[in-house]
Amino acid sequence: MTNDQLFDRARRVIPGGVNSPVRAFRAVGGTPRFIARAEGPYLWDAEGRRYIDYIGSWGPMILGHGHPAVLEAVTKAARDGLSFGAPTEREIELAEEILSLVPGLEQVRLVSSGTEAAMSALRLARGATGRPLIVKFEGCYHGHADALLVKAGSGLATFGHPTSAGVPPEVTQHTLVLEYNHVGQLEEAFAQHGARIACVMIEPIAGNMNFVRAALPFMRRLRELCTQHGALLVFDEVMTGFRVGLGGAHALYARDIPGFAADLFVFGKVIGGGMPLAAFGGPRAVMEHLAPLGGVYQAGTLSGNPVATACGLATLREIRRPGFFDALAARTRTLLDGLLAAGRATGVPLVGDCEGGMFGFFFADALPQQYGAVMATDKERFNRFFHAMLDRGVYLAPALYEAGFVSAAHGEAEIAATAAAAREALAAA
């Protein structure tokens, strides 16, 4: 069947024809591609068309699709049993592997999705501190838990209003939404509410407003204020964890800010290698507030699933090989340089940034630092560019607000083909 036929069929039985909204191509227009298979850096759709894949299942496929070591681990685990609802040794091994890569992290609990991990981390922060307020930043996405589906209003330290129908205002009345990279707002929020703030949750490199870094002075001040007021700093590394570097984004800030450390972490994507798996973790003293030891309840039937943990463990063992991230970062930088060169060659304002195997670009004159600036970039040009690239066999995220991902399977040929396609697409778009 064609992509159009499959989409028509899907819309009869699935709301909007998709099981996650961005897949519907509503932001860019057109018909979503229904993927039949994948291998290495490539996807093939239902019509047999091949694409260079820069979505990578939204981040997890850091090794590329179908890596032999991962396939072997998953196949063996599946033969032994798909799910037990009981502890396994592999859960311990995966937890130990994660702890070994993140200094200061003492315990983790495995769950099945990034949303579940973020939601649980917030409950834990509130339970550990006995405080009600949480702080998040406009443009940072932490999953679709009710308390996090909020947007910022105008003015300083505005309490969030629900972004989604079905979320009562009472649920978000304790969620404070601030502007990303705005130190002044941060300081005033703590001055007004510091004694009631349980935690601040942040994407250190925001990947859901494309690719926007938290500036060093902003992150330094955030850490100082959390320490001063007894709030927990929660790093949401669902996207950046083990993707921008072996120690995640946390290692980057710890390198540049003496004594820097987050209090809680949220992980996903890469730690599952493409299977449904996520985790949240922190110091033992905080994690012991979780049931069965403490009064903060969290549970999950498929948490620590034996096939998912096999997939994640095999992935983490591959990416910690010497030189892996140096090579991945160089590959990503070459891709971004090629895109920016295409912009210069065609006279199109194009800026971008990258770290490890994650990148982003904007049709603008300067890199945005906040969500409002991202919203002001040239959306219509992006939409034209997206379709022009898709027509040339390059699959980018179908929305201006999503970061892109490079894998170890992307070689010189794929990077060069992408840069050439970009030059043609920009000239046409």
Q: Which residues are catalytic?
A: 141, 236, 269
Residues in the chain: 429
Strands 197-202 and 232-237: parallel
Q: Give the C-alpha separation, 366 to 173, whole Å.
A: 35
3-state DSSP assignment of residue 50: strand
Nearest to 102 by CA among 277, 237, 256: 237
The number of C-alpha atoms within 13 Å of 67 and in the hemisphere containing its C-beta is 24
Whole-angstrom distance between the N-terminal and C-terminal Cα of the chain?
29
Upstream peptide bond of 204 is cis (omega within 30 degrees of 0): no
Q: Give the C-alpha separation, 317 to 305, whole Å.
A: 18
Q: Tokens in use for 78?
A: 């599946």
> Are the C-beta atoms of 198 and 192 separated by less than 8 Å?
no
Largest CA distance in the chain: 61
DSSP structure string for 308-364: HHHHHHHHHHHHTSTTHHHHHHHHHHHHHHHHHHHHHHHT---EEEEETTEEEEESS
The number of C-alpha atoms within 13 Å of 157 and in the hemisphere containing its C-beta is 17
DSSP structure string for 251-312: HHHHHHSTT---SEEEE-GGGGBTBS-EEEEE-HHHHTTBTTTSSB----TTTT-HHHHHHH
Nearest to 61 by CA among 27, 35, 31: 35
Q: Tokens in use for 10?
A: 């899907």
280: left (phi over 0), alpha (psi -120 to 50) or beta: beta
Q: CA 418, 47, 69 angle in degrees (round to 5)?
A: 65
DSSP state letter for 65? B
Task: Give Cβ neighbours of residue 269 (< 8 Å, ≥ 6 apart).
Answer: 57, 58, 59, 60, 114, 238, 239, 241, 243, 278
